[in-house]
Structure 1
């Protein structure tokens, strides 16, 4: 049966030009890489937004800005540990995140208390939302619009990282490159 099927497809191969197949493959690869680069989770624009959203030179405002950024970095590292060998080598364990100052010991204890069915990628995003709400209630974030925008930007960042997970989860079949 396999021989007959292979013969059938081989005789029909001339109907589909190889340049069409290769063009489709190249387009798929280029658009995939373009989307990956676009959704890499560039943290600089978010840092600028936080500094514009949370004003003040006092210790409380400074610590709030640093904590929000640290949680974004933590989320990004959680994702990149699964999709990048270099990041996995740099941060092989949760304790290596503590040693690097990205995760605090009490935060690790909170993570340990949560029973995950899947991954803990998005827990720091939840922490960001909770801290932002607390900051809004304390009027560190001065308006509901800024609070809403902060949460929306955080969700946009999370969505970009989710797309990276999706691209890592669904690879391009090797068959395309063997044409």
Structure 2
């Protein structure tokens, strides 16, 4: 989880860096304090026991000699684990995934701007009453397409974002929020739950635009193609985010990284 800290260093001062390093929320201290405490307890216990317990018998002397030999063995082999390479590659991979997911975050602005620009009332209207009715229909088309685009976003983020899933826990919450109608909810109930349903509102939006073009609300076919291409770009972004959620970093590499990190802390305890 990312935490905004720009306000802490917005003004240059001698204490800005210390305020930044002292933040608790989202910090490394909050992440590792429990592990660090356990490490310090084990390290202090073993070190005190090794250096302060008196050697009063040959058995203790032999045990002390074996421990010393084991320490030498650990010291000799502790550098064989390429921890810097493993962590460097892993951190690069994680940061790249995070950056790519941020770049793939979709916004409905592109589709909305094109819809407002290309969906217009026909110009060959003679009566003012007809013009008013057509303006209302244009507004309905724009609102419907934008609603479908936002509904697709919510359906996608419901599967990958816990905060969104907490807000929209059931399908009826989409109706109460205005993203879906009762009739559309009945149709969604027939969709196979194994598949991500976010593509359905995008299909609906394309159908609405094609019908609007047939009725003369979209003047040129090039405008319709541009709108469909923008919706396809929106779908690709949602699909990319879904793939990042479904296909995580390989478990084997995650385990290797964690075991390497743990052993790098266990070796100093045994050293």
Q: Structure 1, residues 117-141: CA drift from partner, whole Å, max 9, x if none?
A: 5232211111111111101111211
Which of 100, 114, 124 is residue 35 of structure 1 equivalent to? 100
In 2, the alpha carbon distance for the partners of 1:45 and 1:81 equals 22
For 2:225 and 2:177, the matched residues in 1 are separated by 31
CA 1:115–1:32 in structure 2 vs 1: closer, same or farther (change >3 Å)? closer
Residue ranges of structure 1 left out of the alignment (5+ in a row): 1-10
Alignment equivalent of 1:159, drawn from 236, 243, 255: 236
Matched positions, count: 167
* Cα pair 1:54 1:65 within 8 Å, conserved: yes
- Give 3-state SS (helix, strand or coil) of 2:179's partner: coil
Deviation at 1:156, TM superposition (A): 0.7
Q: Distance in 2 between matches of 1:175 and 1:117?
A: 29
Which structure exhibits the higher relative contact order, with contacts defined as CA atoms closer than 8 Å and separated by 6 or more residues? 1
Aligned-residue Cα RMSD (Å) equals 2.0
Once structures 1 and 2 are overlaid, which stretch shifts more, 96-105 or 24-33?
Answer: 24-33
Q: Distance in 2 between matches of 1:62 and 1:176?
A: 56
From 86, 91, 103, the equivalent of 1:21 is 86
2:255 to 168, 175, 179: 175
Distance of 2:153 and 2:201 partners within structure 1? 10
Deviation at 1:95, TM superposition (A): 0.4
Confirm or deny: 8 A CA contact 2:213 2:219 kept in the other structure: yes
Q: Structure 1 residue runs of 4+, over 6 Å off?
A: none
The 5 A counterparts of 1:78-93 are 78-93=155-170
Pick the aligned partner of 2:112 from 17, 24, 47.
47
For 2:189, what is the secondary structure of its paired residue?
helix
**Structure 1 Cα separation of the partners of residues 113 and 107 of structure 2:** 11
State the structure with more CA Rg. Answer: 2
Residue 146 of structure 1 is matched in structure 2 by 223
Q: TM-score, normalising length from structure 1? A: 0.85
Distance of 2:247 and 2:191 partners within structure 1: 28
Q: Distance in 2 between matches of 1:115 and 1:79?
A: 15
Contact 2:86 2:257 (C-alpha < 8 Å) held by counterparts: no
Tell me by how many angstroms 1:59 deviates: 0.8
Q: TM-score, normalised on structure 2?
A: 0.57
TM superposition shift of 1:176: 5.7
